[in-house]
Amino acid sequence: MDHRPPISRRNLLLGTAAAFGVPAVLAGCGGSEQPSPGSTSGNLGAVTLGSNASDEVPKKSLATVIEKFTQASVRINTVDHNTFQENINRYLRGTPDDVFTWFAGYRMQFFAEQGLATDISDVWQEIGGDYTQAFRDASTGVDGKQYFIPFTYYPWAVFYRKSVWEEKGYEPPKTLDELTALAKKMQGDDLVPIAFADKDGWPAMGTFDIINMRMNGYDFHISLMAGKESWTDPRVKQVFDTWRGLMEYHQPASLGRTWQEAAQSLVQKKSGMYLLGMFVAQQFPEEDLADLDFFTFPEINPTHGTDSIDAPIDGYMVSAKAKNVDGAKALVKHLAQASSQDIATELDPGTLAASSKADTSGYSALQKRGAELVSQASHIAQFLDRDTRPDFASTVMIPSLQSFVDKPAEIDSLLTSIEQQKANIFR
Amino acid sequence: MTVKTRRYSARDVTVLVIGVGVAVIVNVGLIWGPTLASVALSATDWNGFGPIEWIGGRNYSDLAGEYPPFWSAVRNNILWLVFLGLVATPFGLFCAVLLDRRLRGSRFYQSALYMPVVLSLAVVGFIAQLVYSHDYGVLNAVTGLSADWLGDRSINIWVVMVAAAWRHVGYVMIIYLAGLKAVDPALKEAAAIDGANERQAFFRVVFPTLRPVNVIVLVITVIEALRAFDIVYAINKGRNGLELLSVLVTENIVGEASRIGFGSAIAVILLVISLGFIVTYLSQLFREER
């Protein structure tokens, strides 16, 4: 998942930064190198860390965590988030850093299977007790070995401002009908019911995922993502039909808007709610953060209730070509420590610590609610583009979902097209 | 029996081999090799590593039949070419003609029109977002409209082409301006004496003498249209109505996707289109020289 620079406010600076990112895509490398200021070299030499934390908050958070690492000197190479992600193949095949930021689940397994990651099962023997089984599973490759250190994660939910809801007397909906009724009421109150943005293509995946998991359950989500189900299946069509029913309550002109702009409409009390990851908190000014709350997307099918959510895990992997494997393992061990993750969750209120040992007393009210939400879910999905093949997600699903958002009525032809393209990719 | 004199000494041959050889190696290695490799790869299914599977023309049939962005990209590339060729380039010429008449403040206009040319198209893309954004854009704020300029796929390609043309006009203008300055004023005087009005003098006398400049501008326009990439990539990664062939190649090959065979097939299509123009241009050129 990518956090594109906003067009508003910080725009020009970030814009210029991304402008340099474009040639970087073409060159297949790029980014800025900054030696981490506080780290003095220890006995394990130098370790390089490839980071996609190009946004201000995550970048600062990582730098602070690394300052506490004393066993080796760490050099952080920060690359624009999207650029990093799109170049990952070339990066891992070329001259990758020793440690790199990446995502759990299918996305991790995909590269581990190709021998591009170093097996860190030995690190897991030491830190394994700090993680729940769900996190261990999300870090394990198809061969049963661990390749990933979960660092932070963030749940997807429907966010709103408490003050607005109290003023208007809204209650979090428990069913789809209640959600629709609430949205209607908001329209009557001159609010955009559901803030929405899909210029970058991925945010719509969150809406699709949650409706799909509410209607068809987690197992169907996983097997659909693995290419084992047909997209022309009536169950998939039902998801799009339901989504279409909600479309009139979504913020219009969404294909020209970034998530940051949609989040701003929530901040400015112009929209009533917003289905997004908890990183939406990054857009809230400090003084308004306490006003941000959320509810989990309401139940649609009683069989599945609200038992699944998207809660993508971000973490670290050691590349197969790592030059300093010992230093790299020491570094990921440091990142796996609850104390490191505490620093990150304190600096970035949109994330939760992956380690069970993490100190949750420092959590904000929002983070506490987030942790509670995740602990109640019996299934945690990683998000559409992390649960399926990257080529399918980027070249098929993004254009297809954008085309649905543009013309919600044309479901049948769209699903036929997705199925044909899927057949060409999963063969 | 006449003694056959050797035409080339050993040294000549060495020089020849080095001179031509280096050029040939560079040409084959950097141009023809990769081109032929792309053509070959376009008939395979390959993810950049692992085994290469030969699948014949399947990528092409998938492209044409089952990949909706492809036709959208072809259409946009053609639109881009037509728009630059029929709107932006003539407008650049028009500006050049006006400026050539030494209006008051012509230097000011000249720099103002030329200014965008120093910007990279990616930067023009960012500027375009500031202007066209639905929520915060200057255009909606000033006009009071609430059009989704960049998100609505029936209009976004047009507004983006306007942004691209903003830069192209300046480029074309400066080239024509240089050409116009070089036109012998005596020609215009002679035309005037013969009773030609301004319009006739321009189209019958001045424009034909600009022929070498026209060829350069034509080539630039075609190149600009086919290589368009950065502006749409900066705006929305070339999706949702802003697809271009160059973007699809990148999206499939360079992106996380790594569909090298499929992306190569798109690249081959782009090559064929480019070759069409190059061959037409070269054959024209050679015909005249004869």
Nearest by CB to residue B149, choosing from A11, A256, A424, is A256
Residue A289 tokens read as 């953060």
What residues of chain B lie within 8 A of the CB of A88, using their CB?
Answer: 256
| Residue B119 contacts A, CB cutoff 8 Å | no
Residue A391 has what pLDDT?
86
Query: Shortest Cα distance from A302 to chain B (angstroms)?
Result: 36
Nearest by CB to residue B258, choosing from A19, A89, A200, is A89
Q: What percent of chain A has pLDDT over 90?
A: 66
Q: What is the mean pLDDT of chain A?
A: 87
Residue B85 has what pLDDT?
93
- For B63, left (φ over 0), alpha (ψ -120 to 50), or beta? alpha
Which neighbouring-strand residues pair with A76?
A: A34, A49
- CATH no., domain B69-289: 1.10.3720.10
What residues of chain A lie within 8 A of the CB of B149, using their CB?
Answer: 256
Q: Which among B169, B221, B37, B65 has a CA at the least distance from the CA of A421?
A: B65
Residue for token pair 């050993």: B10
Helix and strand counts by DSSP (H, E) for chain B = 16, 2
| Residue B224 contacts A, CB cutoff 8 Å | no
| Residue A394 contacts B, CB cutoff 8 Å | yes
Contact B257 A252 (CB under 8 A): no
Q: Which among B177, B200, B170, B190 has a CA at the least distance from the CA of B89?
A: B170
Contact B259 A395 (CB under 8 A): yes
DSSP string, B21-59: HHHHHHHIIIIIHHHHHHHHHTTEE--SSSPPEE-TTHH
At B102, the amino acid letter reads: R
Nearest CA in chain A to B69: A399
Which neighbouring-strand residues pair with B53?
A: B45
Residue B122 contacts residue A22 (beta carbons within 8 Å): yes
Q: Which of A28-37, A109-118, A135-144, A214-223 has the highest mean pLDDT?
A: A214-223
| Residue B68 contacts A, CB cutoff 8 Å | yes
CA distance A91 to A87: 6
At A156, the amino acid letter reads: W
- CATH no., domain A11-154+313-357: 3.40.190.10
Contact A390 B150 (CB under 8 A): no
| Residue B255 contacts A, CB cutoff 8 Å | yes
Statement: residue A7 has pLDDT above 60: no
Residue A5 has what pLDDT?
38
Residue A322 tokens read as 């790592």
Average pLDDT of A276-290?
91
Residue A169 has what pLDDT?
94
Q: Which among A372, A335, A374 has a CA at the least distance from the CA of A355?
A: A335
Predicted interface score ipTM higher than 0.85: no
CA distance A122 to A92: 22
pTM: 0.83
Contact A424 B66 (CB under 8 A): yes
Statement: residue A17 has pLDDT above 90: no
| Residue B67 contacts A, CB cutoff 8 Å | yes
Residue B255 tokens read as 């992106």
Return the residue in A92, A113, A274, A391 with the most chain B beta carbons within 10 A, the one to mutate for interface testing: A391
What residues of chain A lie within 8 A of the CB of B49, using their CB?
Answer: 93, 114
Query: Which H or E element spans position A35?
Result: strand A32-35
Q: pLDDT (tens digit, 9 = 90+) per residue, A133-170?
A: 888 888 999 899 999 999 999 999 999 999 999 999 99
Statement: residue A94 has pLDDT above 80: yes
Nearest by CB to residue A421, choosing from B66, B126, B134, is B66
Q: pLDDT (tens digit, 9 = 90+) per residue, B86-106?
A: 999 999 999 999 998 878 888
Average pLDDT of A33-61?
74
At B184, the amino acid letter reads: D
Contact B66 A395 (CB under 8 A): no
Question: Is 3.40.190.10 the CATH number for A156-310+383-425?
Answer: yes
Contact B50 A114 (CB under 8 A): yes
Statement: residue A34 has pLDDT above 50: no
Interface of B with A in 171-200 (CB under 8 A): none
For chain B, 290 residues long, give each residue's pLDDT as a single digit of tens: 555 666 788 888 899 899 899 999 999 999 999 999 999 999 999 877 778 889 988 999 999 988 999 999 999 999 999 999 999 999 999 999 999 887 888 888 888 989 999 998 899 999 999 999 988 889 999 998 888 899 898 899 999 999 999 999 999 999 999 999 988 889 888 998 998 888 888 998 899 889 889 888 988 899 899 889 999 999 988 898 999 999 999 889 887 778 899 999 999 999 998 888 888 888 887 887 66
Nearest by CB to residue B236, choosing from A87, A199, A252, is A199
Residue ranges, comma separated, of all CATH 3.40.190.10 domains in chain A are 11-154+313-357, 156-310+383-425
A32 band by pLDDT with thresholds 50, 70 and 90? very low
Statement: residue A76 has pLDDT above 50: yes
Residue A75 contacts residue A331 (beta carbons within 8 Å): no
Nearest by CB to residue A22, choosing from B150, B151, B230, is B230
Interface of A with B in 26-65 (CB under 8 A): 26, 28
| Dihedral angle of Cα A153, A157, A162, A167, to the nearest 10 degrees | 170
Burial B80-100 (b: 16+ CB within 10 A, else e): bbebbbeebbeebbebbbebb
A42 band by pLDDT with thresholds 50, 70 and 90? low
Return the residue in B240, B260, B262 with the most chain A beta carbons within 10 A, the one to mutate for interface testing: B240
3-state DSSP helix/strand/coil % of chain B, to nearest 5: 75, 0, 25
Query: Which H or E element spans position A13?
Result: helix A11-27
A400 band by pLDDT with thresholds 50, 70 and 90? very high
Query: Shortest Cα distance from A234 to chain B (angstroms)?
Result: 21
| Residue A80 contacts B, CB cutoff 8 Å | no
At A242, the amino acid letter reads: T
Nearest by CB to residue A253, choosing from B50, B130, B151, is B151
- For the four alpha carbons of A41, A45, A51 and A54, in that order, the dihedral sign comes to positive
Residue A153 contacts residue A129 (beta carbons within 8 Å): no
| Residue B254 contacts A, CB cutoff 8 Å | yes
Q: pLDDT (tens digit, 9 = 90+) per residue, A181-236?
A: 999 999 999 999 999 999 989 999 999 999 999 999 999 999 999 899 999 999 99
